Amino acid sequence: MAAGDRRFILHFDWTLFILVLALAGIGLVSVISASYGGRKIIDPLVIRQLIWIAAGTAALLVAVLVDYRALQAYAYPFYVLVIGLLIAVMVAGHATGGSRRWINLGAFHLEPSELAKLAVVLVMVRYLREEPPKGGWGLQHLIVPFVLLGIPAALVLKQPDLGTGLVLVLITITLVFVAGLNWRTMLVLAVAGMLAAPLSWHYLKPYQRQRLVSFINPQADPLGSGYHIIQSEIAIGAGGPFGKGFLKGTQARLNFLPEQSTDFIFAVFAEEFGLAGALLLLALYASVIARGAWIARHARDRFGALLAVGLTAIVFWQVAVNIGMATGMLPVVGITLPLVSYGGSSLIAMMAAMGILISINTRRYLF
Amino acid sequence: MAKFHIPKSNRPVPLLEPRIVTLTVLMFMILGVVSIRLYYLQALHHQENVELADRNRIRLQRVPAPRGLVFDRNHRPLVDTRPSFDAQIVPEDSDNLSLTIERLARYTGADQIADKISDADEAGRPPYEPITVAERLGWQQVVALEAHQLDLPGVSLQITPARHYLYGQLAAHLLGYVGEVTMSDLKAHDDYHMGDEIGKFGLERVWESFLRGDAGGQEIEVDAVGRRLRVLKEIADTPGESIVMTIDLNLQQAAEQAMAGKNGAFVALDPRNGDVLAMVSHPAFDPDIFGGGVKASAWKELMTDPNHPLQNRVIQGIYPPGSTFKIVDSIAGLQEGTLKPDTTYTCPGGMWFGGREYHCWRKQGHGTIELHDAIVRSCDVYFYNVGQKLGVDRIAKWSNQMGLGLKTGIDLDHENPGTIPSSAWKQKRFHERWYPAETLSVAIGQGYVATTPLQMAQVAAQVANGGIRYKPQFVKYVEGLDGNIAKSYSPVIENRIKIDPDALEDVKDAMADVVNGAGGTAHKAHLDDVVVCGKTGTAQVVGDKGPSGEDETEDKTPEQFKDHAWFIAFAPKDHPTIAAACIIEHGGHGGSASAPIIHDVFQRYFQLNPPPPKPEIARVLEDNSQ
């Protein structure tokens, strides 16, 4: 074990670890800006975020120490636990703003949707770790992944949490694609998806439809549902090339931005640090993704490779959907910016995921 | 694909390799699209979004500029601007709004506070924007509000400049008044905002652009709900420029005093340049009541008053000029050559024409007389003959030459041009030809003839200055903020008649004898040291009651049927410096009702502007120098 420890430190993925801490640091700065009301710089929210970062770092290190291969055994039990939590949310969840997303644990509000992403990645990878038959996975092999995705997705959509539901679907598609779905099936699914899209309109809640309408034409109701998109675009645009400067963003300080410490934190950051800051943030994410892809390609086993792809996909899709939404390219769906948005569940789950990624990289030398 | 990379033996997952690479490329492409979108928003549309963000957070609080002052010709203030205390309320800051409103009403006596709030909200008031609910609070009300500040959450006192008319009703129609902008004002001028003050009437309206100045303001930062956080920028206001009028406060006061308790109009001009020296229209109104939101009851009272106090009778009141019109007949006859100073007609007390008798006011007649006596004694029959000789169209021509039937062009709204009938006018108006008998009525200023007091003052001024018609002006100059003249108004000549000086002198002599000679009808206008020239007139109120009367004996007609009394005059006879017209509604006779008013004003005028001590010597010196 002693030799192992030394090798462990030697092969610890410092690059990814530093990238994660840098993102968490940007998150902390942005939470300070988002919670700044003109007087006190250190809001209780900032202290809590600091605690979450510390807890997240601990979770990351624990995850690194765990041999990721052991996770194969825990995939289904963890999945069942998360499903149980999602059901608990429905029954006894804490509701804010028309949706029921949290379980009150006294000091901590647990958001099981954040864990659902990890759970879905684990079970998918657990299922897809088998080598596909010649010619790739076909439609008939997708029944199990469809059910594995369907249960948590349905529960999350019921909250309703459109954003997490969307990310679960995107992660599953990504994994199935990488795991070797054959092209014919992909074509069939694409056509089916296009046909189903208009049908899904029927199942959307009125406010969700409203958001879609606002996305297509925000000025249709600038003070209503179009408000979020408009204010967010204004904040980002007003940042300009180099930003207004730390704590100088007016859109956030004067509360014109909605959900400014969580879903719209990107707008807060982009207003104060401009295009330069926003591109730096994107570069950090791109580095995490590149690193994740590299780890996937160099993993020792198929489970590790797919797991790395799944965890990277969580980061990527959340970034794409969140920033796409903040910049007005996608309709408003509640989703956090990984490692940056305020929130314990999201931050700890995401840092644990990054720990698993580091673990995959580190263990490539250990066995 | 895989063989390009690391040797297959080192690859535990060769099957996954191509798709991971494809996926990575796809992800980077999507991040690239996001970057382009950021470049679009933050680089290409930066300024636009900065403006939108500022519009979100910055609210402009306008602070009206103090309005310019108004002075008389000797720079004595007539109108100024004083601080007014107004109560404002921010409904969002009051936790129990109805209780606050109830208390505010108790302390200020203001009514309809709740209505004002709901009106403002309906007009789209943003949250946390204060509403002015009570204006021009008295000292006691201010003290009550200060003392109970804690019971009145959301209520604050605001100090705004308010218009103040130093002499109340003095020259009210000339000075006019200000009021809050209406929706139509806002549509007409895009640089006005809700709640701004604007000149509504008189000088205040016409000289609005000079008096108004430029509002200052504060840029206030508000948050998303509209709460005011801090002042970002203060913009200083530019006060309005001042107006120096041509009227003389002392003379105006004398005229107001002389007119006290009477309905009618008085106007005095300087015949040398058209300056208005004094202008009175009675009954008047108090211009102060319009500032700070006119009370509905006061407004209704003004609008329904049968005496029309808002009407400026000097330019809007049209009256038959009666015998004062004989001056116009005389000029017309002399100019056309149908009348000579020595033309004689015989007055037996009336005249038969077209099968009916037209009376002279003097039943016993005036005998055979020349023009001089005809003017002095105001013989109707003499002027029936003059008019008959001229015909209506030539009377109309010379009336128009002297400005009758035309707007004088004075810079006031709603001027009435009056009516000067002619055969063409009648054809157009009634589709009927002119009957010669109608000319008789016209000749004595009755029938269709209608003139304003200002027009008749111009007639007097033209006789005084030898036939020059000036545009009447009541503003001498605009005084800039540095105290220098920003814009001055020089005399404007509208028309010039070449009158034979000898003939004109005969008319002047006759007008002097109206006031000073034996048998004259206006002895009450006589001044000891100045020769006043004048002509009386009586405007019939009730239909065809008979010819105009110049009789000094008291009329027993009930008040509302009494005739309007005219007097037009100028002085001194040589080198006149003041000309005036006065009408007293239902005053009876010009000589008894109007002449004393002109007497009082002229007396005051010559106290203030003493005539050269010995005009005879001055004239001799002038003659010698030629």
Average pLDDT over residues A204-211: 72
pLDDT band (50, 70, 90) for residue A2: very low
pLDDT band (50, 70, 90) for residue B626: very low
| CB-CB neighbors (< 8 A) of A302 in chain B | 12-13, 16
Q: Does the distance separating the beta carbons of B35 and A237 come in below 8 Å?
A: no
Q: Does the distance separating the beta carbons of B23 and A324 come in below 8 Å?
A: no
What was the pLDDT predicted at B6? 38
Q: Are B532 and B515 in contact (CB under 8 A)?
A: yes
Q: pLDDT tens digits, residue range A35-92?
A: 987 777 788 899 999 999 999 999 999 999 999 999 999 999 999 999 999 999 888 7
What was the pLDDT predicted at A150? 95
Q: pLDDT tens digits, residue range A116-173?
A: 999 999 999 999 988 888 888 888 889 999 999 999 999 998 888 889 999 999 999 9
Q: Are B1 and B21 in contact (CB under 8 A)?
A: yes
Q: pLDDT tens digits, residue range B189-199?
A: 888 887 788 99
Q: Does the distance separating the beta carbons of A234 and B52 come in below 8 Å?
A: yes
Q: Calculate the average pLDDT of chain B.
A: 87
Average pLDDT over residues A99-107: 76
Find, in chain B, the residue whose alpha carbon is nearest to that of A364: B12
Q: Pick from A178, A241, A300: which is nearest to B43 by CB?
A: A241
Q: Is B453 exposed, middle or buried (0-12, 13-18, 19+ CB in 10 A)?
A: buried
Q: pLDDT tens digits, residue range B299-356?
A: 788 888 888 899 999 999 999 999 999 999 999 999 999 999 999 999 999 999 888 8
| CB-CB neighbors (< 8 A) of B28 in chain A | 286, 289
Cβ contacts from A onto B, under 8 A? 142
The alpha carbon of residue B20 is apart from the nearest alpha carbon of chain A, in Å, by 6
Within the 242-271 window of chain A, which residues sit less than 8 Å (CB to CB) from chain B? 250-251, 254-256, 270-271
What was the pLDDT predicted at B294? 57
Distance, in Å, from the CA atom of B535 to the CA atom of B278, rounded to the nearest integer, reads 20
Q: Does the distance separating the beta carbons of A255 and B52 come in below 8 Å?
A: no
Q: Does the distance separating the beta carbons of A275 and B53 come in below 8 Å?
A: no
User: DSSP state, B594?
Assistant: I
Q: Is B596 exposed, middle or buried (0-12, 13-18, 19+ CB in 10 A)?
A: middle
What was the pLDDT predicted at B171? 94
Q: Does the distance separating the beta carbons of B42 and A289 come in below 8 Å?
A: no
Q: Does the distance separating the beta carbons of B38 and A254 come in below 8 Å?
A: no
Q: Residue B232: what are its φ and ψ, rounded to 5°?
A: -90, -35
The alpha carbon of residue B127 is apart from the nearest alpha carbon of chain A, in Å, by 14
Within the 54-83 window of chain A, which residues sit less than 8 Å (CB to CB) from chain B? none
Q: Are B341 and B372 in contact (CB under 8 A)?
A: yes
Distance, in Å, from the CA atom of B373 to the CA atom of B375, rounded to the nearest integer, reads 5
| CB-CB neighbors (< 8 A) of A258 in chain B | none
The alpha carbon of residue B1 is apart from the nearest alpha carbon of chain A, in Å, by 13
Q: Is the CB of residue A85 less than 8 Å away from at least one CB of chain B?
A: no
Mapped onto helix, strand or coil, the DSSP state of residue A84 is helix
Average pLDDT over residues B102-125: 84
Among A28-37, A119-128, A173-182, A190-199, name the one with the lowest average pLDDT: A190-199
Q: Which residue matches tokens 């430190």?
A: A9
The alpha carbon of residue B93 is apart from the nearest alpha carbon of chain A, in Å, by 18
Q: Which residue matches tokens 């009256």?
A: B319
The alpha carbon of residue A236 is apart from the nearest alpha carbon of chain B, in Å, by 6
Distance, in Å, from the CA atom of B28 to the CA atom of A323, rounded to the nearest integer, reads 14
Q: Which residue matches tokens 């034409």?
A: A217
